[in-house]
Amino acid sequence: MSLTTATRPATADAVVTTVQVGDSSTGVVISPDGLRAYITNQSSNSVSVINTATNTVTSTVPVGKEPYAVAISPDGLRAYVTNLRSNSVSVINTATNTVTSTVPVGKDPAGVAISPSGLRAYITNATSRSVSVIDTATNTVTGTVAVGIDPAGVAISPDGLRAYVANFTEIGNGPGTVSVIDTATNTVIATIPVGRLPYKVAITADGAHAYITNPGSDSVSVIDTATNTVTATVPVSASPSGVAISPSDNYVYVTGQGNDSISVINMATNTVTATVPVSASPLGVAVSPDGAHAYITHDTRPGTVSVIAFDRAPTLTGAPTVGVVGQPYHHAFTVTGQPAVTVAVTVGALPDGLTLTEAGVLSGTPTKAGSFTFTVTASNGIGTAAPLKDVTVEVTDTTPITPPSSGSLGPIFGS
């Protein structure tokens, strides 16, 4: 059997719910298992923990003064929060949602990123013009790297070898810059000119590109990490701030504070393919591990988080098992897509006695033996439908067969 998947680019659908959190929500990160979102509330000095299954706040964690950014360790066990006015980083145990350590860093810590190994946390210190390197085993600062003016966002390459730091303030009338840190030596090995007032950084899963928001020039700079040069500049919504990349490395999502929207960039063409309206002052953005939702923070009072569901073309997989006449049968095809997908038989016929629900569940009691081949198709109005061709269900008849009489046993076991 074969599977056809849709090819139309996914686009942001709409805000499906809004979650109230603390005042002036800024940073956001989603746990590796996708079950929780952590939100920094700058004016409430707290972190809100959202259950992503119910989109409700299940815990509020007091931290330092003006928490601004948050990152979570690859194992999901700890969250690191920069406290802008406490000059510190709060370390949250995510099992108990309590602060277990507070690490002094430079002045006005703004951004945070954790290495793929989980062994180091990198903190940008805006006023100190530096990056603090924290050993996460001891939660102590083991290195400090001088960078540009007002470093803000930071991201680590997937191989852990480079840290990219957006320096928010340019020198004179020159362009903004991104500092590239060699994490083995904790030294700056390149300084890359980008747009004006570079703010946040995101790196693709394959490590090939870094995307930088430039609120001063209403653009996103695309850096080729092999050459550390800008290879594209994408015009986006006014005052772009946060940036996140889909797990599939297909789309980039950028918050626009100037016009209360999210720009969706197609990475294949580096063009904006959709714009999603949201509520006032969108700042941070994080995409769920399955790529189905984005969580947007809003720098408002009270603070809110918008949850966006992304349109996804349908997929359909599964190989039905053998059925038996007169015995209950059940098989559920694996169906994905957003909005809801409808599954139907489009070629051929089901075995007698079986039905297929719109959710892709094949069930009933077979009444006739044989081999039945048909096509099942999933559709939801996004892209092309996804047919699963040449699906075959074998139905056997296990009715006992009475052997013919062989006559008397006497001749064999006789006298």
Q: What are phi and psi of 53, to 5 degrees?
A: -75, -35
pLDDT average, residue stretch 192-202: 97
Tokens encoding 298: 């809003």
Residue 229 is assigned to a structural domain of this protein: yes
Residue 280 is assigned to a structural domain of this protein: yes
Residue 196 is assigned to a structural domain of this protein: yes
Residues 188 and 324 in one domain: no
Quote the pLDDT of residue 175: 87
**Residues 113 and 161 sit within 8 Å (Cβ to Cβ):** no
Local structure of 203: helix, strand or coil: strand
pLDDT of 407 strictly over 80: no
Quote the pLDDT of residue 249: 80
State the Cα–Cα distance between residues 162 and 117, nearest whole angstrom. Answer: 13
Quote the pLDDT of residue 405: 55
State the Cα–Cα distance between residues 239 and 234, nearest whole angstrom. Answer: 13
pLDDT of 9 strictly over 80: no
Local structure of 25: helix, strand or coil: strand
Tokens encoding 190: 């390149």
pLDDT average, residue stretch 330-334: 96
pLDDT of 257 strictly over 50: yes
Local structure of 374: helix, strand or coil: strand
Query: How many helices (H) and strands (E) are present in the chain, helices listed first?
Result: 1, 38
pLDDT band at 403 (very low <50, low <70, confident <90, very high): low
Quote the pLDDT of residue 196: 95
State the Cα–Cα distance between residues 171 and 191, nearest whole angstrom. Answer: 13
Quote the pLDDT of residue 362: 98
Residues 18 and 111 in one domain: yes
Local structure of 413: helix, strand or coil: helix
Tokens encoding 322: 């053998």
Question: Which CATH number belongs to the domain containing residue 231 in this structure?
Answer: 2.130.10.10
> Half-sphere exposure of 364 toward its Cβ, with a 13 Å CA cutoff?
15
pLDDT in tens, 93-106: 999 999 999 999 99
pLDDT in tens, 38-52: 999 999 999 999 999
pLDDT band at 87 (very low <50, low <70, confident <90, very high): very high
Residues 102 and 179 in one domain: yes
Residues 231 and 329 in one domain: no
pLDDT of 177 strictly over 60: yes
pLDDT band at 5 (very low <50, low <70, confident <90, very high): very low
Question: Which CATH number belongs to the domain containing residue 387 in this structure?
Answer: 2.60.40.10
**Residues 220 and 212 sit within 8 Å (Cβ to Cβ):** yes
pLDDT band at 412 (very low <50, low <70, confident <90, very high): very low
Count of structural domains within the chain: 2
> Half-sphere exposure of 163 toward its Cβ, with a 13 Å CA cutoff?
32
Residues 332 and 213 in one domain: no
Could you tell me which residues come within 8 angstroms of residue 205 by beta carbon, excluding any fewer than 6 positions away? 158, 245, 247, 249
Residue 3 is assigned to a structural domain of this protein: no
Residues 103 and 202 in one domain: yes
What type of residue sits at position 255?
Answer: T
**Taking the CB of residue 361, how many other CB atoms lie within 10 A of it?**
14
End position of a domain, from candidates 280, 309, 338 = 309
Residue 130 is assigned to a structural domain of this protein: yes
Task: Please give the DSSP secondary-structure letter assigned to residue 31.
Answer: -
Residues 253 and 193 in one domain: yes
Out of 4-8, 246-250, 361-365, the most confident range is 361-365
State the Cα–Cα distance between residues 42 and 48, nearest whole angstrom. Answer: 11
- pLDDT > 90: what percent of the chain? 85
pLDDT in tens, 200-224: 999 999 999 999 999 999 999 999 9
Residue 369 to residues 325, 328, 366, 402: CA-CA distances in angstroms?
6, 14, 8, 19
Quote the pLDDT of residue 170: 76
Quote the pLDDT of residue 404: 59
Range from 61-65, 252-256, 334-338 carrying the lowest mean pLDDT: 334-338
End position of a domain, from candidates 309, 326, 358 = 309
Average pLDDT, rounded, for the chain: 92
Give the Cα-Cα-Cα angle 394, 400, 402 (nearest 5 degrees): 140
Residues 299 and 319 in one domain: no
Residues 241 and 99 in one domain: yes
pLDDT average, residue stretch 319-338: 94
Task: Please give the DSSP secondary-structure letter assigned to residue 196.
Answer: S
pLDDT in tens, 264-311: 999 999 999 989 999 999 999 999 998 889 999 999 999 999 999 988
Residue 175 is assigned to a structural domain of this protein: yes
Residues 35 and 169 in one domain: yes
- pLDDT > 70: what percent of the chain? 93
pLDDT average, residue stretch 230-242: 96
Element (H, E) at 251: strand 251-256
pLDDT average, residue stretch 5-18: 58
**Taking the CB of residue 371, how many other CB atoms lie within 10 A of it?**
10
Ordered strands of the 109-114 beta sheet: 109-114, 120-125, 130-135, 140-146
**Residues 353 and 370 sit within 8 Å (Cβ to Cβ):** no
Could you tell me which residues come within 8 angstroms of residue 406 by beta carbon, excluding any fewer than 6 positions away? none
pTM beyond cutoff 0.85: no
Tokens encoding 143: 């290195």
Residue 403 is assigned to a structural domain of this protein: no
- As beta bridge partners, residue 47 has 40, 61
Closest among 176, 175, 227, 173 to 201, alpha carbons compared: 176
For residue 361, what are the domain limits? 314-396
Quote the pLDDT of residue 64: 98
Residue 36 is assigned to a structural domain of this protein: yes
Residues 305 and 388 in one domain: no
Residues 247 and 370 in one domain: no
Closest among 398, 385, 415, 343 to 5, alpha carbons compared: 385
End position of a domain, from candidates 282, 309, 336 = 309
